[in-house]
Structure 1
Amino acid sequence: MGIIKEASRDIAGKFTPKSETLTKIQVSLSLSTNQELLMEAVALAKIRTRVDAEDSSELDGINHISELVNHMLEKHVEEKQMHSINGVPIPADFCCPLSLELMSDPVIVASGQTYERVFIRKWLDLGYNVCPKTRQTLGHSNLIPNYTVKQLIENWSEVHGVVLPDPVKLLSLNFSVSLKPINGRTSDKSPFSENSSRENKFGSPDHISSDDSCHPNLLHENFDSDDQISKASSSEDTDDSETGPPKLLVASTEANKLMCNASIDGSDAIKQSRKDGFHASDVEPRLQRNSISGDIGTSASSSSNHLEVVEKDKEEQVSSNSIASETTRNGRTVTCSKPNFQPRLGGVRSRNHLVWQQRSDKAVSLDSRSDFAIVDNKVRKLIEDLKNERTDPERAAIGELLVLSRHNMESRISIANHGAIPFLVNLLYSADPSMQENAVTVILNLSLDDNNKITIASADAIKPLIHVLETGNPEARANSAATLFSLSVNEENKAKIGRSGAIKPLVDLLRDGSAQGKKDAATALFNLSIFHENKARVVEAGAVKPLVELMDPAAGMVDKAVAVLAILATVQEGRNGIAQAGGIPVLVEVVELGSARAKENAAAALLQLCTNNSRFCSLVLQEGAMPPLVALSQSGTARAREKAQVLLSYFRNQRQVGKVTRR
């Protein structure tokens, strides 16, 4: 246990533990596969939700161990993703998130994520009623074949001469035979106990006893007990011992007991808050290579060049690629895709993260299976009507698809699986404004699913979406911008959209669109600007002036506008544009009077302006920035205080330099 505490302290101190240390921990605790690490990570998250928030020492201990497990999990995934077959790297979207292997029989679960059939079936059979990737509680256990991804994988395999693996063989290697369903009763005997035998590990048959008692303090006691720590050191120290390698702080054991009390319908899952602004944070090192997968990082300090966006007041659905939210526009529910924010490397998961729950055999009723079959058959008929070139059947079909696509993930998946996307893309060129609007709205709803994002981009939808941006009615233009934003969650699409000429019409929408259109345009431009070469395009398209104008509180877009300006301020063209558009006085005003989030981003932009140009620094000081910055350094958010302090320190250093020069 000494090496565990040492590694935890390294993580807590923002240091990276040595690889050999992590290997020892994984070997000694039998955390060798992706599944085992996932189970342990979420089991700890489950325990954290039951810990008294006022007991800071226990909570800190759990958080440090959670950070360590999450760090090991991310390192494991990174190492696995470096592997190739016959020297050919495997696209990440073709790999099962559970096994991390190339999929042969991909299926879709209720959350919309795709997995290898035998792996997700085993996962469900073990009693886990959540999506391993998004941590979203699954409403049912139906597995829907993902024919689109299967075809893509088969085509890729044929081109590269790759033989698809046998998933059944991989399953036996990845899932330990000792794992048992979580609805078994768990012994109250701690794996750290002196009387624990080597075979009495979590999940082994001997570990399932009739004792039903829970131990809410077991994790804390084992973490703090020096006596038990001495019994559970590295594997080298225990080879000849009676004590077998424990699961990390018996988190899985305790979490399984807690899960016994979880409600079947998932009502005790903690939902994510709704958000509607942008939030600046420190950049991840990997973002400086423009390789953004889940995190969207930011910095307005002199050492980094990216921004992190956190949407508020939109219901979040956490995933490795997107956050889904639904908003109502003109009485119509429209689903928008938002970026996914995964924990930082070794970061602590939010206590509001959705947690694991026990699966019940009653979770999927015959009615739900029957309902799905009815919807699937209905979708199949509607797609046939879409193929009909007569206007009336097409209009009726697109209207019904719009209704179906707004309700649930299964309908969206079914619509895409039955080949609707190419026909919907063609309808984006319709001369009928209503038809065009409905088509783009259905595509927007379908883009909620990660796999559908791939299919939509592969159907050459970007140019038609730009056509809607340029020619559509206000609602269609807004939904087109939202769809481009949804597609831009994919890093490759950021580049593709930027190079396809979408930025200029997005800026036009920002300038003259409806209130909703301006918000969607700002969101899309922000996400596209994360890709470095798009920043200059956004500035050249004339985005800075309307963004400065939208910082007027009367426009209701201060938070969004200042966030985009903060990311544009990380390039010289953006800084020049902000100064020329009269943005410096407005940024200073936001630091003084804006929301907490807006103040932080305004300080980030000012920091970039001042540290990169002495003339801009003088202008900022002339606008009276010192008092609001001093106030922000004392009462703002943690990141805002940091940026304000750095900027104030920079001002002091500049004064000292000036005094020396005058002497």
Structure 2
Amino acid sequence: MKSHFIATQFRTLIRVIATALDVLLPLNSIGVSCEIKELFEMLSKQARKAKMEPDPEDENTMKRVIIVLNQFENKFEPDPFMIRKILAHLEIKSWAECHREIKFLDDQIRVEYLNGDEREIPLLSNLIGLLCYCRGTLFEDCDFRVVDQSDGRNSNLEVLSCLNPEDFRCPISLELMTDPVTVSTGQTYDRVSIQKWLKSGNLICPKTGEKLKSLEMVPNTNLKKLIHQFCSEYGVSLAKSRTKNRDISRTILPGSPANAEAVKFLSQFLTLSLGYGTDRQKKKAAYEIRLLAKSNLFNRSCLIESGSIIPLLELITSSDPEMQENTISALLKLSKQPRGQKEIIKNGGLNTILMALKNGITLESRQIAAATIFYLSSVHEHRKMIGENGETIPALLQVIKEGTPCGKRNSVVAIFALLFYHRNRDRAIAAVYRNAAGKEYCVSILHSLCLNRGPDVVSVLAKDVSLMSVLYSLLTEGTSHAGRKSRSLIKILQKFSETTSSRLIREIEMATEQPKPATEEAKMDLFEDDDEFEEFEIDQEWDDKEEGKDVTQQWEDDWDDDDVNDDFSLQLRRELESNPEKSEVKST
């Protein structure tokens, strides 16, 4: 697309070389041989005669691309025959190759934003829109599982394996560099750390001890990219950079008019394929939606407007594991949009997603459904509807029990979001209480609260007459850990009852006097007996049992677990600021 510009730059460079050979190089005064002089003269003549022109085929392809982009911009769907000619010249012969080119262009856009230079963004967006349209409409077969999980990942791992991760740390802070910059001595530091160093009056390089010739700092973009790849591949948290790098708010608008229309045409095509295509076409369409909606707000809005949610909901019940996984993942992406949430609820999608949460064919499908429940529960009215289904919270607890670390986290935040509706709290407690392990955890929590909060908690527990029977049952039926906690809790409650009875007798005898406030010694008297404080220590046997569980290898993070965590924090902050039940939530 920029062949003319590049050819002009080369012509200018060659002319400069020819001028330098003629004017700036005094061959006669140097005393070189005749053969060398002849070579220089020949080089000068060739440089003046050289013609740097774009290849005719490249120029024709460039014209075709411009025509296609103009058609998109004018809201006309381009001729597939012309697009195939473009792809043939670019040697893009398969879905995988097209997908690879899209990822490359997307990386180039990220680099442009990192560098703060957005001049090339419209052109890159045009090309991405064109290739996304080609990938979705022209290529029927796709090895999506292989491409999405492995393409580029193995090569990245090979590159990263050759590097020393310690080189990614700032020599000053010893933390991973989020914004590496290079100073005049050639050493690289994190921008924040070196700025603090310089502001404190230190004008020498911290690593070499040399005096800095200038205070200029050059961004090390390549190193920054490597650090991001390292963190992505190995699951290392890099909160500062992730917030900036994963910020998709800039995608709320299309990168260019042609890109916008290409995405709209593609969204309509995929929606029709979901409704009327073959099983293979439906699976591919669901996967295309999953890719398009992954990190682009405008793409999500186009897919929602095209009506893709209804056919996606119908495909959740598919008996094909890949179909179900792609479908529920696509719905997860669309549920992040407020309008997408409304469309899902409006079309009866809640029960369908809950069914996938409970009976999903694969664990991955159930984990993705749990994340979808979290986004749907961001609306207050939806929490009541979700909680009224008695199988929701038990299904989320099952994912916590069986899932990967990402799945566990998303199930936990989904349950927490549901707890903002007060009636869901009783349902959650009831769901945990049915489980023997849940009872044991509850006893451990109550025991910890008693030790840390003292009489404030014990006085409340002492009023619950049914608690003692549960504690005695755990003494005989529970594990050794539960038995020790129950025994300790029973002693605490009994000692509180004895103390309260003695105090009541004294109050009756001294009815006309005000009781003195309890001293710290009196408060701690509740816990002096036996080995309560010993039992409060972490039980090694219990921890060993927990740590011995097999942890499944985390599957590809293409359902944006980081987004779920970030959105959970945002939702929690909003609820505590504006929800009328916030005080009740805090106390709970």
Same fold (TM over 0.5): no
TM-score bin, normalised by smaller chain: 0.3 to 0.5
* More helix, by proportion: 2
**TM-score, normalising length: structure 2:** 0.36
**TM-score, normalising length: structure 1:** 0.33
